[in-house]
Amino acid sequence: MAKRSPILLSFLLALAVLEAAPDSPSFRNDVLPILSKAGCNSGPCHGALAGKNGFRLSLRGYDPVTDYFSLTREALGRRLVKMAPARSLILLKPTLTLPHGGGKRFDVDSPEYRVIADWIAAGAPAPKPGDPEIETIEVHPEKIVLQQPGDTVRISVRARFSDGSIREVTRQTKFSSTNEGVVEVGDRGLATAKGHGEGAVSVWYSSKVAFSRVTVPHERQLGPELFGQAPRNNWVDDLVLAKLGELRIPPSPLCDDNTFIRRVYLDTLGVLPNRQDLSRFLGDTRSDRRARLIDSVLDRPEYVDYWAYKWSDLLLVSSRKLEQAAMWSYYHWIRNGVAENRPWDRFIEELVTATGSNLENGAVNYWLIHQQPQEITENLSQAFLGISLTCARCHNHPLEKWTQDQYYGMANLVSRVRLKDGQAAGEVTLVPRPVGEVSHPRLGRPMPPQPLDGEALALDDPADRRRHLARWLVGSEHFARSLVNRVWAHFFGRGVVEPEDDLRATNPASNEALLSALTRDFMDHGHDVKRLIRTILNSATYQLSSTGVPANRDDEEYFSHHRSRRLPAEVVLDAMSQVTEVPEEFEGYPLGTRALQLPETQVESYFLDSFGRPPRLTSGADERKGDANVAQVLHLINGGTLNRKLRAEGGAVDRLLELELSAPELVERVYESALSRRPSQPEVARLVAALDLEQASREGVEDLFWAVLTSKEFLFTH
């Protein structure tokens, strides 16, 4: 659509205002919500970038002025006929009086038809600067409990406007269900239970989004003593069990000690416990032995390796966009932050406000990876708030409350940065500058620099705007909530909000009380990441068995049992190297360097790529792939990585052969090193018979290692 002159638009709007009848329907607050509810300005229809059949509206009505022009002035004025509203295309098409590719959207005798017809008959008044603006919407009821499938409840919505008025807007509200297996909702707000569990009904009116949570408990009868007697180690368990009680989902029992030590080592350190670690822990008879183990694990150097690698994924450490010296400087800055247990708010504040040489201050390299204000705006929001702003670059967000104006206000907080080459190879210096703006593409002017829902700065303020952004960012509850959800997802295989980096209003938490309490505790204790991890590891919820009881096996959201999941690519490779006692060789790195000690993902490794190592192109959690595929299977069978380790001289195969162990002892040693447990007698018998281990040949021992190291039990946490 051609760009219109602002002067022409102002003139036409002034004419339309003069034509308006008193108390006529409002284009902004009455007509546009009807078009949005009918889907006329949605992406698949006229809200698409190119519109449909020559008619284009702004997505979800984000630009009322331009929409008004499209309806009243384009197509030779045929879309509106003021002297005969019923002849207007805007009424003939949606009622199928004339053919309409979008189908029937409302009836001739409907309230929607009458509102639009009355608006046209009143002279089609234009949106005015003084129109009341919507401030909030209220959903009633906010929390719903339906006892069984088939039960229904009516949801109503009210809107509050800037002039203090409150309006019933249920009919103009768009409803959708976040879990149609639990609840379905009609376009008039009638919610119907379809199955057991919990879901939410999202409501959208004008630019505002809210939701009503719907619970349909399972019909099974569970006595209160079941939850009263369930293991509780800290307050996390109280909140998890409260939710399970609401839904009548029983928790699994605690896992055994062998499972626990393997789980906590792999999840926290990325390594397996060795036989000495295992023996020491299993021989500890003290009641607090698990808490003691957690404390010792958090003090090990492998903890720094693992979490420096994890945050390097998030912060995109890579030589793809950085020189080697710059990449190492960036990695060391992250690693030092983990080693010091630097508070998360201070860690990110240093990143956002970084200045100086990128070789002396590794945080500066963040600004080399993301040099355009739009890229920085989108990455900051996604990585540290769990908010995707990308859609708002071109229009108001279709699934969230964020507007295009807010997007460019954020962009102007990071637009005044200058990068210049330094003296050394690969050195770049960052210097804040007093000028530099990003113009709003539709308005043709810069927006005042302003964080999302934060306080705006004056455009002529010469101070480094990034400091204002950093103060708002790290002081935001959303900032802490995002980090807490990421850490929880790491240990449980899914976030309290899932996906873990999608914290929009229309994607509610599976246990809001739990996530809110974790967030408050994290903020109250100085954004201490290690303390958060300790709290999670010590909870009985984390220590539950992965073997579900019959009544909770289908639960994927409420943490009634531990969720088995495949180990990350780097952890699998390091574990294979550890068990076979043959380190992986990475070109350019000393022999013995583990995959989790690599600073970046540009190091060549077919194994790591096949098993889902992220390329570090974006900070999205979906970059890391955890699904099994044929390439992985073929590589384990025929590839060089594992087979080379099994055939290598001086490895675990040679060492066990030199000990001249019996066949059962061989199986026991391999099980303890790879699976952190002893094999059962039937397992020993099957392996000895299948692999002909009585002769203890090299080929038989290699096959034993291969069988265990390619098993699901080895490749997964349990």
Question: How far is Cα 473 from Cα 486, in angstroms, rounded to an integer?
Answer: 17
> Span 386-399, mean pLDDT?
79
> Span 162-180, mean pLDDT?
89
Based on the fold, state whether residues 195 and 61 are members of the same structural domain.
no
- Whether 642 has a pLDDT exceeding 90, the answer reads yes
- Whether 17 has a pLDDT exceeding 70, the answer reads no
> Span 582-601, mean pLDDT?
96
- Whether 416 maps to a domain, the answer reads yes
The confidence score (pLDDT) of residue 398 equals: 64
Based on the fold, state whether residues 639 and 687 are members of the same structural domain.
yes
- Whether 297 has a pLDDT exceeding 90, the answer reads yes
> Span 260-272, mean pLDDT?
98
Least confident of 142-156, 350-364, 526-540: 142-156
What percent of the chain shows pLDDT beyond 90?
58
- Whether 434 has a pLDDT exceeding 90, the answer reads no
The confidence score (pLDDT) of residue 15 equals: 47
> Span 36-58, mean pLDDT?
78
Residue 93 burial by Cβ neighbours in a 10 Å radius (0-12, 13-18, 19+): buried
- Whether 301 maps to a domain, the answer reads no
Q: How distant, in Å, are the alpha carbons of 101, 449, 470 from that of 458?
A: 48, 7, 17
Domain final position from 181, 216, 251: 216
Based on the fold, state whether residues 168 and 90 are members of the same structural domain.
no
Residues 6+ apart with CB under 8 A from 29: 131, 132, 134, 161, 206
User: In sequence order, what DSSP letters do the residues of 615-671 get, joined into one string?
Assistant: --SS--GGGS-----HHHHHHHHH-HHHHHHHH-TTSHHHHHHHTT--HHHHHHHHH
CA nearest to 46, candidates 66, 16, 25: 66
> Span 154-165, mean pLDDT?
92
Based on the fold, state whether residues 177 and 116 are members of the same structural domain.
no
User: pLDDT digits over 613-632, tens only?
Assistant: 999 999 999 999 888 888 89
Which one is predicted more confidently, 332 or 433?
332
Number of domains into which the chain is organized: 4
The confidence score (pLDDT) of residue 586 equals: 96
CATH number at 147 reads: 2.60.40.1080
User: pLDDT digits over 85-114, tens only?
Assistant: 888 888 888 888 888 888 888 889 988 899
- Whether 427 maps to a domain, the answer reads yes
Q: How distant, in Å, are the alpha carbons of 51, 211, 228, 515 from that of 143?
A: 38, 9, 25, 17
- Whether 316 maps to a domain, the answer reads no
The pLDDT confidence band at residue 7, using thresholds 50, 70 and 90, is very low
User: pLDDT digits over 483-525, tens only?
Assistant: 999 999 999 999 999 999 999 887 889 999 999 999 999 999 9
Residue type for position 295: D
- Residue 175: phi and psi, rounded to 5, are -110, 145
Domain final position from 416, 449, 475: 475
- Whether 387 has a pLDDT exceeding 60, the answer reads yes
Based on the fold, state whether residues 112 and 142 are members of the same structural domain.
no
CB 183 within 8 A of CB 250: no
- Whether 298 maps to a domain, the answer reads no
The confidence score (pLDDT) of residue 405 equals: 86
What percent of the chain shows pLDDT beyond 70?
95
> Span 351-377, mean pLDDT?
94
Question: How far is Cα 445 from Cα 437, in angstroms, rounded to an integer?
Answer: 9
Least confident of 6-10, 434-438, 450-454, 642-646: 6-10
- Whether 690 maps to a domain, the answer reads yes
- Whether 521 maps to a domain, the answer reads no
The confidence score (pLDDT) of residue 320 equals: 92
> Span 412-439, mean pLDDT?
89
Based on the fold, state whether residues 156 and 25 are members of the same structural domain.
no
The pLDDT confidence band at residue 399, using thresholds 50, 70 and 90, is low
The confidence score (pLDDT) of residue 708 equals: 95
- Whether 224 has a pLDDT exceeding 60, the answer reads yes
Based on the fold, state whether residues 15 and 153 are members of the same structural domain.
no
Question: How far is Cα 553 from Cα 562, in angstroms, rounded to an integer?
Answer: 10
Based on the fold, state whether residues 37 and 106 are members of the same structural domain.
yes
Based on the fold, state whether residues 659 and 574 are members of the same structural domain.
yes
CA nearest to 155, candidates 185, 181, 180, 129: 185
Domain final position from 165, 197, 216: 216
- Residue 201: phi and psi, rounded to 5, are -105, 115
The confidence score (pLDDT) of residue 13 equals: 46
Based on the fold, state whether residues 73 and 158 are members of the same structural domain.
no
- Whether 678 maps to a domain, the answer reads yes
* Alpha carbon 562 to chain centroid, angstroms: 20
- Whether 426 has a pLDDT exceeding 80, the answer reads yes
- Whether 336 has a pLDDT exceeding 60, the answer reads yes
Range of 89's domain? 6-121
Based on the fold, state whether residues 109 and 206 are members of the same structural domain.
no
Based on the fold, state whether residues 109 and 139 are members of the same structural domain.
no
The confidence score (pLDDT) of residue 11 equals: 46
